Structure 1
Amino acid sequence: MKQFWWARLAPLGLLAACTCLGVVQGCGPGPGYGTRSRPRKLTPMRYKQFFPNFSENTLGASGRAEGKISRNSERFNQLVCNYNPDIVFKDEENTSADRVMTKRCKDCLNRLAIAVMNQWPGVHLRVTEAWDEDGHHPQGSLHYEGRAVDITTDDRETKKYGILAQLAVEAGFDWVHYESRYHIHCSVKADKSEAVERGGCFPGWARVTVAGGRQKTLSSLASGDRILALSGTGQVVYSQVLLFLHRDQESRSVFLSLEADGGNRLVVTPHHLVFLDPDCGHNANEYRAVFASRARVGDCVLIGTPGGQMETSRIVSVSLTESVGVFAPLTEAGTMFVDGVLVSSYALLEDHDLAHWAFGPLRLLRSLKRSFWGEDVKGQQKAGIETATQFGTTEKISIHKQDNLSEPLRVKDQEQCSLKTSEVHWYARLLYRFACIFLDSDIFHA
């Protein structure tokens, strides 16, 4: 009987995966660039604006300077020369210094060169400054390490520079600054920076509430555990952990720390979805799933109180932190309370409902397994009823997509459509590949 049902379900599962065009990977290294499937309107950066909204030498941008590289130093052998014929190098020193850079910088620059030619046929990218060996920049400048470039277009039309800066963001540069009326400054992380390959969703020490009311860390959580979540109908339930979309005990990642009044603190990767209400106190039952990087001081999150009630909590601080271990449990409800704060199970794609739908086949297979292989459905239903009674939740919490989004607090990931394969669930990787092909890159975390 088992073989009969699996034989029938295998083609169904494959068909469902192939038809999931709006799909999302739950967690893992996020997108930094990608080939757009169709033309779209770009929003130019403003003069003096920079992305992400941190200073250049912080973890959320290009990171700390590691020291000047000279031609006779051992580290100089780690730099490469860029001979891309589609890029114009100013090279006013006649030493080819403007062609010298790190491999990561070269890759970003080459992608940007293609984007410039696509945006303005007949126009080429121009590099006015790259590696500096003559001491023309302030101490600590990333130009001394080949990690920074100053760029223009070869026609030198300054009205294009706002779009050029935005194209540089999409090409994968970790920090872009519309620094001058006459050039754009871009920089990247060090090639071997641990922050380059960023993954996960929550640190292993983050806690969830399991059936019975006990607290459990994500690192000790197992598939089959039931944790506190919010159902699609707005009821607080214990929802079963189906699997881990990402689970890595040793990976070091950069997280956002969202501290709310009342002592609640959520530590989460910037590309994960959290439920926020920007109009805290005015529309408390309307929460939208947005990237954590969009969180601002004054926004409200939804929390569960020790007394079993639901209430809002205002964010009082947003900061960056580093931690070891990344975990991304997928619950049947698609939501969960992590350290008391309501979050989505999904990331990278800013559409909770679409992501939840995309993982429907996994929930279907688990449901069929319970039905035909005798897993305890009644036990789960009982847990859900007990939870609703415990929390006394009769009001329905509406969860909506965010339509009009504020300017994001971006933390750049290494690359779009190229996933670190270890520790990421195969189904998540498969669906994310389909998403990269069929969805406009606007919907992904940048």
Structure 2
Amino acid sequence: MSVCVGLSVLLLLLGPGPLWACGPGRGGHRVKTPRKLTPLVFMQHIPNMSENTLGASGLAEGKITRQDPRFAELEPNYNSEIIYRDEEGTGADRLMTERLKEKVNTLAISVMNQWPGVKLRVTEGWQEEGILHTQREILHYEGRAVDITTSDRDRSKLGMLARLAVEAGFDWVHYESKSHIHCSVKSESSHSAKSGGCFTADTTVVTSDGHRLPLAELQVGQQVLTFDPQTGRTQYSEVLLWLDRDPDEDRLFVEISTEGGRRLAVTPNHLLLVRRPHGPQAVYAGNVEKGDELLGLDSSSMTSDAVVSVRAVRRRGVFAPLTTAGTLVVDGVGASCYAVVASHPLAHAVFAPFRLLSNAQHAARALWSSAFGGAAVDARSTPPQPVGVHWYAQGLYWVAQRVLPQGMLS
């Protein structure tokens, strides 16, 4: 029953969608016409956000050398329809991640179709030597970026080449130079982490008795410090369940440090509350940048705390509790309990069945206590802690992938 209610809420909140769109033909079907491709202009990049954010290619994870275990993940690309400059003479430009290789090969076909007789030319791929001068270059050192042009080196083609790269599925495309286009992709680990958003084992919450407790020791049913996103006022709320919990899982986290000395490690697709002129807005942790203002705990309310640095770290253990309020104060920072779907209100609404169930259980216990005394209630044993993603969360994400617009999913 709770699944049906949750899914019904999800569909109702979405409102009329493409399936009910007006148009000629049965069921709103319209004949598709070829879309005209518009070249990018000099210095334009798509998407219109920083390269090292979740909505683009994600945070840098560290330079890969030939001695690094991750070097085995780089694959040589021997596609004969691609020309490599290979100025080092080592074949390094051919080495790339599996995802980058897929996009480069797709683009090579598009280039030949757009300009018969012309091939894609890679001028820079994986970098193994030299000094890192800019943050953009770091993805070259990870095998996640290429600089490209065409085999005829016709600069008038660069704008359209950039557009073809966008269509080929690169996660970030930048017409950054009058001699080449820069393209990059997300890491393989960022895709494997889509199942949920979590905090680390040593991330702390404040319990109703005033103690600071690491999530690894938190139990369902405990009261922890949360807050109201609209008013910013803090409150204690019950932990209803674990959306995800696995003490042994190794995962990539975003470590965010603030001006007030707070430091929080969270998965890139988890929602954090960022201060905006019209009120707090939930954004993916992987999209938080230096200068953004997170909500930080100040006495009995939340205040602004500017971000001073963001970096990628790997940690063992993932923990994601769900509270009645749908929020948490973790390591002094205000966060949503939800991830993957880019809407805190929507995610909170579809978990309403668990709040209703919790209220019903409390009412039943109160009735039992008043009728028979509290002994039976007090004798309840602590249930074993679960491991893995909660079944309800998995089901909702499965539905969201098939119903929500792609822009609302990480």
Normalising TM by the smaller chain, what interval? 0.5 to 0.7
Give secondary structure in 2 for the equivalent of 1:64: coil
In the alignment, the residues of structure 1 paired with residue 293 and residue 73 of structure 2 have an alpha-carbon distance, to the nearest angstrom, of 50
**Structure 1 residue 345: Cα displacement:** 0.7
The equivalent residue for 1:52 is 51
Query: Secondary structure of 1:435's match?
Result: helix
Corresponding letter in the other structure for 1:339: D
**Mapping for residues 404-423 of structure 1, pairs under 5 Å:** 423=388
The answer as to 2:223 corresponding to 1:208 is no
Give the direction of change, closer, same or farther, for the CA distance of 1:351–1:132 in structure 2 (3 Å limit). closer
Q: Give the structure-2-normalised TM-score.
A: 0.65
**1:31-72 CA distance string (max 9 Å, x none):** xxxxxxx99999958628695249xxx992263031399xxx
What's the CA shift for 1:358?
2.1
Matched residue SS, 1:202: coil
Compared CA separation, residues 22 and 298, structure 1 to 2 (3 A) = farther
Residue of structure 2 equivalent to 1:89: 82
Counterpart of 1:430 in structure 2 is 395
**Code of the aligned partner of 1:105:** L
Query: Separation in 1 of the partners of 2:128 and 2:202?
Result: 46
Cα separation, 2, equivalents of 1:331 and 1:371: 18
2:328 maps to 336
Q: Is the 8 A contact 1:129 1:150 kept in 2?
A: yes
Q: Which one-letter code corresponds to 1:67 in the other structure?
A: R
Q: 1:33 maps to what in 2? A: none
Cα drift, residue 159 of structure 1: 2.3
Q: Residue 356 of structure 1 corresponds to which residue in structure 2?
A: 348
Q: Report matched runs for 1:169-318 at 5 Å.
A: 171-172=170-171, 177-187=174-184, 197-198=192-193, 200-231=197-228, 234=231, 236-250=234-248, 251-261=250-260, 263-279=261-277, 286-306=279-299, 309-318=300-309
Of the three residues 302, 315, 318, the one matched with 1:326 is 318
Instruction: Label 1:67 to 1:288 Cα distance change in 2 as closer, same or farther (>3 A).
Output: same
Gaps of 5+ in 1: 1-8, 25-37, 70-74, 380-421
For residues 82-161 of structure 1, the aligned pairs below 5 Å read 88-90=81-83, 101-109=96-104, 127-129=120-122, 148-152=145-149, 157-161=157-161
User: Take 1:348 and 1:249, find their aligned partners in 2: how far apart are those partners?
Assistant: 20
RMSD: 4.9
- Displacement of 1:293 in angstroms is 3.8
Aligned length: 349
CA 121–128 in structure 1, closer or farther in 2 if over 3 Å, else same? closer
Residue pair 1:202, 1:268 contacting (<8 A) in 2 also: yes
Please say if residues 248 and 327 of structure 1, whose CA atoms lie closer than 8 Å, have aligned partners that are also in contact.
Answer: yes
- Whole-Å separation in 2 of the counterparts to 1:318 and 1:432: 31
In the TM superposition, residue 158 of structure 1 has moved relative to its aligned partner by 2.2
CA distance in structure 2 between the partners assigned to 1:22 and 1:121 by the alignment: 43
Shift of the alpha carbon at 1:331?
A: 0.9
The TM-score normalised by the length of structure 1 is 0.61
Per-residue deviation, residues 91-127 of structure 1 (Å, max 9, x unmatched): 689x9x787654333234356679x69xx99679953
Distance (Å, rounded) in 2 between the aligned partners of 1:77 and 1:273:
30
Larger relative contact order (CA 8 Å, sep ≥ 6) = 1
Q: Distance in 2 between matches of 1:43 and 1:367?
A: 56
Q: 1:441 aligns with which of 392, 401, 406?
A: 406
> Please, which runs of 5 or more residues in structure 2 have no aligned partner?
15-31, 371-386
